[in-house]
Amino acid sequence: MSTSEKTHIFITGVTGYIGGTVLSALLSHPSVKSFRIIVLTRSPEKVVPLNSLGVVAVVGSNQDLEKLTEYARKSDVVFACADSDDLQAAKAILLGLKKRHDETGKVPILIHTSGTGVLADNAAGDYATDKVYSDLDIPLIETLPKTQPHREVDIEVVAADEKGYVRTYIVLPSTIYGIANTSLVKLGIQNPYSKQIPNLIKASIDRKQGGVVGKGLNLWPNVHISDTASLYITIFDAAIRGPGEAGHGREGFYFGENGEHRVGRISEVIAELLFEVKLGKSAEPTVFTEDELQKYFGGPGLGSNSRARADRSKLIGWKPVHTVDSLWASLKPEIEAIAEIQNK
């Protein structure tokens, strides 16, 4: 197959937790021989190992707006897996995709990363909300103000689809858990850890005691990292088959969740496990002070509610295999790995 006949794919955030796992999934895709994959990395030393995987690595970041535009212009599909709140980067990618449409008449595809943080409230851990969002309930999603996390960029992405030059699909993972185990991790070029739970573990180890936000009553959905990657692939496969295969644009929101947890329960389990290995003073978590919330998390966001149902995601064929039981099982390995890193 000639290069011109292949599906040209461009991926940002490729050495990150999500992006690296998505790339790994693409590399094991049944149609991988028909792909030409270009990836962006900030680190020149990662170019050679990335190239060894059969992709073309170029040095750059979300700040290199001209590069984002140029590589998007050359692409049939863009996976945006870097900073979900970077409006200028999103605009640069969309500009490139518009140029591709103007030059070829084809409608390229953007699979953009957002997150269920867009649903977050100000509960500060003190209550659970009854408000649950479905990714099929577009009018409810559209009530979210632009000031919500990720929302401003999501609105820009949807607006581009409405203009007709690109088909956009927005992936909104929830609390992602599990240590990534990919070919990129084995090469030492991908971050294998998520943010929310590892940050809670790091804070608890640092203060020598498991911590909880407020009363710990707030609720969040969760999804395993490998199921997250399979959601991207499910959307990609549907999008490649044609515009009628999966909702896009206004109807292109896809929640990543397969279970729900009380955030305070994670704090409780972390406190118990840290106490067992003598890294915590008590098996009961203590409440983070306002200063600690600012120091460790940049604010009280960990105490928010974010309740979501992945109805659209499952409707198009996504079949996550890890349930909330996998979340609880993942905590001990996460603690052991992070404690080892912090001890170094």
pLDDT computed for residue 319 by the predictor: 98
- Share above pLDDT 70 across residues of the chain, in percent, rounded to a whole number: 100
Count of beta carbons in the 10 Å neighbourhood of residue 3? 7
| Tally of structural domains, the chain | 1
Q: Give yes or no for residue 1 having a pLDDT over 80.
A: no
Give the separation between CA 317 and CA 231, rounded to whole angstroms: 9
The per-residue pLDDT for range 100-116, each reduced to its tens digit, is 999 999 999 999 999 99
Give the separation between CA 228 and CA 174, rounded to whole angstroms: 9
Give the separation between CA 185 and CA 46, rounded to whole angstroms: 12
* Sequence-separated (6 or more) residues with CB below 8 Å from residue 63: 89
The token duo for 147 is 């000031």
The per-residue pLDDT for range 289-313, each reduced to its tens digit, is 999 999 999 999 999 999 999 999 9
- CATH number of the domain within which 136 lies: 3.40.50.720
The token duo for 335 is 């603690």
Q: Give yes or no for residue 318 having a pLDDT over 90.
A: yes
The per-residue pLDDT for range 20-55, each reduced to its tens digit, is 999 999 999 999 999 999 999 999 999 999 999 999
8 A C-beta contact, residue 158 and residue 249:
yes
Neighbouring C-alpha atoms within 13 Å toward the C-beta of 100: 28
Under DSSP, is residue 319 helix (H, G, I), strand (E, B) or coil? coil
pLDDT computed for residue 97 by the predictor: 98
Q: Provide the residue range defining the domain that includes 18.
A: 3-343
Q: Give yes or no for residue 344 having a pLDDT over 80.
A: no
- Alpha helix segments (H runs only) across 163-254: 183-186, 196-206, 225-241
* Sequence-separated (6 or more) residues with CB below 8 Å from residue 310: 135, 221, 231, 254, 255, 256, 257, 258, 318, 320
Residue 328: phi and psi, rounded to 5, are: -65, -40
* Sequence-separated (6 or more) residues with CB below 8 Å from residue 145: 151
